[in-house]
Amino acid sequence: MEKLGNPTRLEVFHLLVRAGEDGLAVGDIQRHLGIPASTLSHHLAHLVAADLVQQVREGRVLRCRPNFARMNAVLAFLTEECCVGVGATADQGDGPTRGKGAVEEQVAGKRV
């Protein structure tokens, strides 16, 4: 999730998500977003390191695909533990336990 915190990087990843599972070549991304090649390469390296993007060489061009499984996992990190409670600190008891149904009221997701 940290890697998506940079606006440029988010823009790159967002573009790849829009492109779909075949993704785009590095040069295509560059043409779409108009950022210098070195800067783009730098950001892509971050996304690849985070496993949010996978790269495969196709001749001279390097195709970048979004890793949807990883994206979903990253997003689920926030939503999965919704409303489970936070446990106790040294000097206090548990907080109030939510009734069943709290999660469903708060978390939305695209139905599949």
Partner DNA sequence: TCATTATTTCGATTATTCCAGAAATATAGT
Partner DNA sequence: ACTATATTTCTGGAATAATCGAAATAATGA
Ranges within 55-84 binding DNA (CB under 7 A)? 55, 57, 59-62
The single residue among 32, 46, 63, 70 that binds a copy of itself, judged by CB under 8 A, is 32
Ranges within 85-104 binding DNA (CB under 7 A)? none
The β-bridge partners of 54 are 65
Count of residues near DNA by CB under 7 A: 27
- The contact pattern for DNA, residues 22-41, with x = CB under 7 A and - = no contact, is ---xxx--x----xxxxxxx
Element (H, E) at 66: strand 61-66
Distance of alpha carbon 70 from alpha carbon 77, whole angstroms: 11
Residue 99's SS3 state is coil
**Closest distance of CB 50 from DNA, Å:** 12
Strands laid side by side in the 61-66 sheet: 24-25, 61-66, 53-58
On the 0-12 / 13-18 / 19+ scale of CB atoms within 10 A, 18 is: exposed
Binding residues (CB under 7 A) for DNA: these are 2, 5-6, 8-9, 25-27, 30, 35-46, 55, 57, 59-62
Residues near a copy of itself, by CB under 8 A? 1-7, 10, 13-15, 17-22, 24, 28, 31-32, 68, 71-72, 75-86, 89-92, 95-96, 98, 102-112
